[in-house]
Amino acid sequence: MANREMRRLQAKEEERAKKRRQEKARPQKKRQRTSLLQFLREVRQELKKVVWPSRDELTTYSIVVFATTTVLTLVIFGMDWVFGNGVIRLLDLAT
């Protein structure tokens, strides 16, 4: 019974793949480019839809980014220093 279902699923998938290949074979219509003025109008319309953060939110987000970057920089610097000194000491012991 499972084999029958698998064969049906495989046949359906093959049909879908065949349709996709046929659609790709059709030549696509070439789109007309919009003018610069039309592009700028559309950009302006989209920017009106954006919900911009308030000054307080922007300040908070900036502080969080700065603090996170500082902490991660210090962690990576510390790990680099520890591993670097560890390798040097390990090589000194080997000689």
Question: Which pTM does this prediction carry?
Answer: 0.49
The stretches in the chain having pLDDT less than 50 are none
pLDDT at 92: 86
pLDDT at 28: 66
Question: In whole angstroms, what is the distance from residue 72 CA to residue 65 CA?
Answer: 11
42: Cβ contacts below 8 Å, ≥ 6 apart: 34
